[in-house]
Chains A and B, each alone.
Chain A
Amino acid sequence: GENVEQHPSTLSVQEGDSAVIKCTYSDSASNYFPWYKQELGKRPQLIIDIRSNVGEKKDQRIAVTLNKTAKHFSLHITETQPEDSAVYFCAALAGGSNYKLTFGKGTLLTVNP
């Protein structure tokens, strides 16, 4: 089955700096990659996603890139703010499935003011 590795497990940045979180996946048939943000004690919320027919997607300060050949995708947050502090999860949809997401272990991002 699908295997998703996420790095780093923790990331600390200064406010205003950029943060990058990387994920690799094993199933070459995977075609959908969402990113979720989970603040302490709250539910995971989708912040951005990308499908395999595009290489990059942006939404204000957040961007995701996908390299299908290398089977990795990354989340980029620019001009970080303290409210960006949370755990971020990447996920990959199993090939041949419309719903079976395999999640990474998460990255705890801390933005220091």
Chain B
Amino acid sequence: ETGVTQTPRHLVMGMTNKKSLKCEQHLGHNAMYWYKQSAKKPLELMFVYNFKEQTENNSVPSRFSPECPNSSHLFLHLHTLQPEDSALYLCASSETLTGTSGGAVETQYFGPGTRLLVL
């Protein structure tokens, strides 16, 4: 289970801190995703990158700032978070975003997540 890795696995931060989450995929994929998983809520897509270009920002507050320096690495920079931002943050990757609408979908592979607690 080392295709998609995330660090750190656990993070506790204060509301005034700045921290970063890191995701790395070893699958040769070109699309990467950030999801938020909160208790009793569905997984929420936050950001999508395809070939290092951001293709989706799902109305995420600006206190979350993604960065994708290359197709293998994805970061989520955090600053001035709120307690309600406490959640499991999952990274995922897929081969690419292919074709036009209705075209082939590539399976998304998830990392183990970073459990974030904002105090």
Contacts and interface: CB of A to CB of B under 8 A. Distances in A.
B7 interface: no
B42 A32 contact: no
Interface residues of A, number: 26
Contacts of B43: 44, 89, 91, 101, 103
Given A44-B90, A99-B56, A104 B110 contact: no
A60 interface: no
Contacts, number: 62
A23 to B, nearest CB: 11
Bin chain B's interface residue count: 20 to 34
A98 B107 contact: no
Given A44-B90, A95-B101, A96-B102, A102 B42 contact: yes
B61 interface: no
Contacts of B101: 95-98
A105 B45 contact: no
Interface in B73-119: 90, 94, 97-99, 101-113
Given A42-B112, A98-B97, A99-B94, A104 B42 contact: yes
B100 to A, nearest CB: 8
B33 interface: yes
Given A43-B113, A44-B43, A98-B98, 19 more contacts: A31-B102, A32-B105, A34-B108, A43-B4, A43-B90, A45-B110, A96-B101, A96-B102, A99-B33, A99-B48, A99-B56, A99-B105, A99-B106, A99-B108, A100-B48, A101-B43, A101-B45, A103-B42, A105-B42
Interface of A: 4, 31-32, 34, 36, 42-46, 49, 89, 91, 93, 95-106
